[in-house]
Amino acid sequence: MGDTMSPILVALLPFFVVGVVFALTRALGPRSRVAHAEEPTCGKCGYIVRGIEGFTCPECGSDLREVGIIPPGRRRPMGTAMRLLVWTLATLPAGFGLGLTLTPLIAPVDLVATRRRVIFIQSPNMNATIPVTQQGRQRVYGRPRINAATVVPMQTATLDLRRGTMIDVMTVDTPTRAAHFTDAAGKRIDGALDAEFVTQWFNANGHNTGAVRDRAADVVAAVAEMDNPPGRGGAGFSRFSPNPARGGIPDVTAHPASPAFVRPQNTPYTNAAPVALAGVIWLLGLPFVLRRRRGVARVESPRDANQA
């Protein structure tokens, strides 16, 4: 019950603030001091205009045909500027609070998935560590329910070739396997995630022995295991290319791929929704705020002004 009432209270609280703002304005505003006058008064300054000649208020010089006359017994209304100010101040908390309540239910949200694996190359002619990070993004609407069965297809992968303090990055488009890296001269090298391209990447980083291609094929296999089965990820601890010269110790090992971690991420539309809703409410209320003030009578002739 508490979880159900909380959003409702958040939505209703701003409207309570609106009511308080209007009540205080009516009670404490300077125009309330001349409320319920016993004589007809100028619609602008409150001067008693009974029996005057013509359309001009003797006090403020206003044309009574424009500012009108407040009949006896009527409350003097707020001016247009004051009504606009009160409406603006009231709209901000009301619209923003309502937006905060509705946004999680209808606004777009991106589900961002991340999965990692570390590959170790420990052979007589090559020693390197390659952390692999896969990421995916999927847009949904409303409050997402994330659990162990939530699957977000992976879209990109980055392979970081680490040698001491040096790190070189290969970026891969997972669906197409298109890959690229930047060599030491700053030139972008494009290709596909296969043994030949990974060998080229190794060569660009100073690994040029004859066994490098075999290590490259092991790396490609270790990356492929991360998405098996598709979308879920798999592969425990893996060993590649046992080396008889080392007593069967593998030259390449890969730690288990981590489960895909899925988290919701707000989009720019999500963050802007409460502000946009406040603006829409403000615009919708303008015709009512700017309309002719209630309780002010219009005059069309000197006779109307004099008999007021």
22 with 92, same domain? yes
H helices of the chain, in order, are: 2-28, 64-67, 80-106, 195-204, 212-225, 268-290, 302-307
Task: State the DSSP string of 61-111.
Answer: --BHHHH-EE-TTPPPPPPHHHHHHHHHHHHHHHHHHHHHHHHHHHSEEEE
Task: Give the closest residue to 140 by CA, choosing from 107, 173, 94.
Answer: 107
Q: Helix, strand or coil for residue 246? A: helix
Residues 247 and 174 in one domain: yes
Same domain, 70 and 179: no
pLDDT band at 4 (very low <50, low <70, confident <90, very high): very low
Considering the domain architecture, whether residues 11 and 142 belong to the same structural domain is answered as no
Whether residue 200 contacts residue 191, with contact meaning beta carbons closer than 8 Å, is answered with yes
* Helical segments of 107-210, H only: 195-204
Domain of residue 100 covers: 2-106+270-307
Residues 114 and 256 both lie in one domain: yes
Indicate if 128 and 61 belong to the same structural domain.
no
CA 175 to centroid of chain Cα atoms: 27
| 121 touches 130 (CB < 8 A) | yes
Distance CA 270, CA 288 (A): 29
Average pLDDT of span 38-63: 85
Q: Are residues 122 and 261 in the same domain?
A: yes
- What pLDDT, on the 0 to 100 scale, is given for residue 299? 58
59 shares a domain with 196 = no
CATH number, domain containing residue 214 = 2.50.20
pTM (two decimals): 0.62
Q: With pLDDT > 90 as the criterion, what percentage of the chain qualifies?
A: 28
The answer to whether 112 and 135 are in contact (CB under 8 A) is: yes
Q: Assess whether 122 and 70 both reside in one domain.
A: no
Statement to judge: residues 161 and 189 lie in one domain? yes
pLDDT tens column, 265-278: 888 888 788 888 88
Same domain, 136 and 257: yes
Chain centroid, CA 300 distance in Å = 54
Interval 52-60 mean pLDDT? 87
Summarize pLDDT for 201-260 with one digit per residue, the tens.
999 988 888 789 999 999 999 999 987 665 556 678 999 988 887 788 899 999 998 888
Q: Identify the residue with better confidence: 49 or 82.
A: 49
pLDDT average, residue stretch 16-40 = 57
**Distances from the Cα of 248 to the Cα of 129, 238, 239, 243, 255, angstroms:** 20, 14, 11, 5, 18
Quick: pLDDT tens for 104-163: 788 888 999 999 999 999 888 888 999 999 999 999 888 788 887 788 889 999 999 986
Cβ–Cβ < 8 Å for 37, 70: yes
